[in-house]
Amino acid sequence: MLVRHLSYFVALAREQHFARAANACAISQPTLSAAIARLESDLSTPLVRRGRRFEGLTPEGERLLEWARGVVADYERLCGDLQGMRGRV
Amino acid sequence: MLVRHLSYFVALAREQHFARAANACAISQPTLSAAIARLESDLSTPLVRRGRRFEGLTPEGERLLEWARGVVADYERLCGDLQGMRGRV
DNA sequence: TAAAAATACTCCATAGGTATTTTAT
DNA sequence: ATAAAATACCTATGGAGTATTTTTA
């Protein structure tokens, strides 16, 4: 599981639309679709309710979202901290 | 960045030894070495003090370790929760 | 029909393995 | 000589792209 894929998932939950989320992440729509499918495969659980269009997250998706938001936010803080440490050496 | 690689890093910090950490993760020593090198490359910072042998983490490594421990622990909890949700449906 | 997501394919990066080398004691 | 980590090399996986198809309101 890639941290980057978690950020794709967070974007999808925010945008409620595969193509818009992909655009927000600066990747193609199929790449985002595949990344979400990969997360579902890795976790052996459906994360998204799909019909003709995006129809929200499953309960498992909501559970993942909670964690993913924290991971992505903390990862960004980590990168900032590391850059600061490098900068001050 | 792979969540799995963070668990390798946590194992290295615990075992203080590349080969023992690799063994604990059930992977080969070169695979663990490469994973740590990949983390260092992804974060553009050295994480491990290397001499003839493992000589501890750099300050950046300590900062990563703090976060990585949380991510790995929370990931395991997530997997447990998801399994529980699937089981009860 | 039109919009949205999935699928088919291609390419390339990389995770992981085994075998070997380097390095410092 | 030995122990520890790095390096070389190979294979298989999978992430990402473009083009296209499927689906359903």
Given a cut of 60, whether residue B89 has pLDDT beyond it is: no
**Given B45, B82, B85, which is nearest A82 (Cβ)?**
B45
Question: What pLDDT does residue A86 have?
Answer: 78
Tokens of A49: 């309710």
Q: Dump pLDDT digits (tens) for B62-88.
A: 999 999 999 999 999 999 999 999 765
Q: Which candidate in A47, A57, A86 is best for mutational testing of the B interface (most B CBs within 10 A)?
A: A86
H or E element that contains B18:
helix B18-25
A75 and B64 within 8 Å at the Cβ level: the answer is no
Q: pLDDT truncated to tens, each residue of chain A (89 aa)?
A: 999 999 999 999 999 999 999 999 999 999 999 999 999 999 999 999 998 899 999 999 999 999 999 999 999 999 999 999 976 65
Q: Which domains does chain A have, with CATH numbers?
A: 3-88 (1.10.10.10)
Q: Which residues of B touch A71 (CB under 8 A)?
A: 71, 74
**What pTM does this model have?**
0.94
Neighbouring residues of A22: CB distance < 8 A, sequence distance ≥ 6? A8, A28, A29, A31, A32
Backbone angles phi, psi at B17, to 5 degrees: -170, 125
Instruction: Provide, as residue numbers in chain A, all residues whose Cβ is less than 8 Å from the Cβ of B85.
Output: 45, 59-60, 63
At which residue do the structure tokens 């990862």 appear? Answer: A75
Pick out residues 14-73 of chain A having their CB under 7 A from any atom of nucleic acid strand D. 26-28, 30-31, 34-35, 38, 51-52
Tell if the CB–CB gap between A2 and B2 is shorter than 8 Å: yes
The pLDDT of residue B26 is 97
pLDDT computed for residue A88 by the predictor = 60
Phi-psi region of B76 (alpha: psi -120 to 50; beta: other; left: phi over 0): alpha
Contact state of A2 with B1 under an 8 Å Cβ cutoff: yes
Summarised one tens digit per residue, pLDDT across range B7-59 is 999 999 999 999 999 999 999 999 999 999 999 999 999 999 998 899 999 99
pLDDT score for B51: 83
